[in-house]
Amino acid sequence: MSLSAAEDDSRSEIHIPADIDWHMLDKSKFFFLGAGLFSGVSAALYPIVVLKTRQQVSSTQISCFKMSFSIMRYEGLRGFYRGFGTSLMGTIPARALYMGALEVTKSSVGTATVSLGFSDTTATAIANAAAGLSSAMAAQLVWTPIDVVSQRLMVQGYNNSSGSKDVIPNVNSCRYRNGLDAFRKILYADGPKGLYRGFGISILTYAPSNAVWWASYSVANKLIWGGFGCSVRRKDKSGVIAGSGFRPDSKALVAVQALSAAMASGVSALITMPLDTIKTRLQVLDREENGIRKPSTILQTVRNLVKEGGLAACYRGLGPRWASMSVSATTMITTYEFLKRLSTKSQESLTS
């Protein structure tokens, strides 16, 4: 099935390259190049993730500027990359699971929905939503332990910087030398469940977030190209470019993909931000009971957030998360489409 935007009334005017399905890809090239490209993207965006995480676990509202200044002043540039090595190690297997599940689901569900008689626009939205759901669930098997370790490393330095001792009062007091040391100590203290702390809320956060994002992306993509189609038809009637078709160049394709990704990120961030804040606090903060530190519960975490600032407290870090999601999604989708075209099998391989 071709999930392109060229099946509506404007397809005679707009000629967009067909989507590349799973069977068209050279899998080894797809996963190898994908690991390298997305590792670079993760490195560029990691400082924003650190800012978001620290804002989410803070008991008071702190601006991005003040937080950034504090990190740079007390920890230097290294403070923006605490836990990055651990995160990078998890990126490769998690991305492999994510991209594999995404493409397989999108191709199979897309074919099924079209055979059931759905329109191309509806089939595309359903296929993308299902693909986002399945890919997020698959990736969380790797990402949750990586999140637990990397996020503890992110907040560890801040809690011990001078001038910020009371910002994160309930952060786990255990000191970690590096990601491997954190992994070992968490496993020793809490067992495997300690590494999968917040797994349920992670699924509840990322699965719908990905489903909403991919569905919103496909709809936004259709709407934008539809707008171009209307514009082209109006020009045809006025005789400006009568008889010619609109063939977007690579810059136009990237621009539309980027705009669609940014729009989808805004929708997804607003809907799932409270869940993401709860998830981060569950993975990082503890509660004290009879002098003994224990993992926080979802109910206790929600109560604390309500006490600290009501619904607004659930949206702490929305700015960095929205920025991170928009930049990440824009970079991801353009890189992802570029990766798919780089990994496409030769015509001889497809016909053999």
Quick: pLDDT tens for 145-167: 998 899 888 887 655 554 444 44
pLDDT at 4: 44
Whole-angstrom distance, CA of residue 172 vs CA of residue 152: 8
pLDDT band at 49 (very low <50, low <70, confident <90, very high): confident
Nearest in space to 12 (alpha carbons), one of 220, 223, 243, 240: 243
pLDDT tens digit string along 277-330?
888 888 888 777 776 777 778 888 888 888 888 888 888 888 888 887 888 788
- Give me the amino acid identity at 242: A
- State the helix-helix crossing angle for 120-159 and 84-115, rounded to 10 degrees: 170
From-to residues of CATH 1.50.40.10 in the chain: 40-56+198-232+248-343
Do 14 and 228 meet the contact criterion of CB atoms below 8 Å apart? yes
Give the strand pairing for 292-295 and 286-289.
antiparallel
Q: Please give the CATH topology (third level) of the domain spanning 40-56+198-232+248-343.
A: Mitochondrial carrier fold (1.50.40)
What is the structure's pLDDT at 166? 43
Q: Which of 134, 161, 174, 190 is nearest to 50 (CA)?
A: 161
Q: What integer best gives the mean pLDDT of the chain?
A: 78
pLDDT at 1 over 60: no
